[in-house]
Amino acid sequence: MKLGIMQPYFFPYLGHFALIANTDAWVVFDITQYTPKTWMNRNRVLHPKEGWNYVTVPLANGSISINTSEARVLNVRDARRSVLGKLSHYRRVAPYSRAVEALVQDAMTGDADTSLVELNVRGLRAVCDYLGLSFNYRVCSELGLSLPQNLPPEDGHRPSAQRWVHVAT
């Protein structure tokens, strides 16, 4: 069995989906410390005249003192409106702009505050469905694994992936 594991990014780059396409199962790695200003709650789109524009999902509690699984979207409706507004510049020039807007609508449904992980998983699912990819996933924080709260550094460095695998087995 081929297993993939990545943090839940907000509409991630194409390579993320290439990894999903080459796995049998996927783990949404949401037990890490949340880091502000990362691709977990933002992305960028190339404006036809102005260069890169960032689209950001505002969080109610986006600090480094929480795990990614605890991050909450401030207001899904406002975030959806903002993202769709920044994408509207492409309607006349991008052949798939309507399809992309539909993916954003699907992923950013609901009006209540929601989990950032849940939002990003809906985005992954929507894009995988659009691309015809199987997306057999589990969310790490829901697996009931007995993992340490803090994994101390190895030799002054962050823990390696091999060490995480060893801890989880």
Q: In the chain, where are the structural domains located?
A: 3-168
Q: Tally the residues of the chain.
A: 169
pLDDT at residue 121 tops 70: yes
What is the predicted pLDDT for the residue at 131? 96
Do 67 and 32 meet the contact criterion of CB atoms below 8 Å apart?
yes
Bigger pLDDT: 80 vs 161: 80
* Residue listed under structure tokens 């502000």: 36
- Six-digit token string for 138: 């589990």
Q: Phi then psi for 163, rounded to 5 degrees? A: -70, -40
Bigger pLDDT: 100 vs 151: 100
In this prediction, residues 107-112 reach a mean pLDDT of 78
- Among 104, 102, 96, smallest CA distance to 10 is for 104
pLDDT at residue 162 tops 90: no
Q: Residue 117 burial by CB count (10 A; 0-12/13-18/19+): exposed, middle or buried? A: buried
The pTM score is: 0.84
What is the predicted pLDDT for the residue at 142? 92
In this prediction, residues 111-127 reach a mean pLDDT of 88
Bigger pLDDT: 150 vs 88: 88
- Six-digit token string for 97: 């702009």
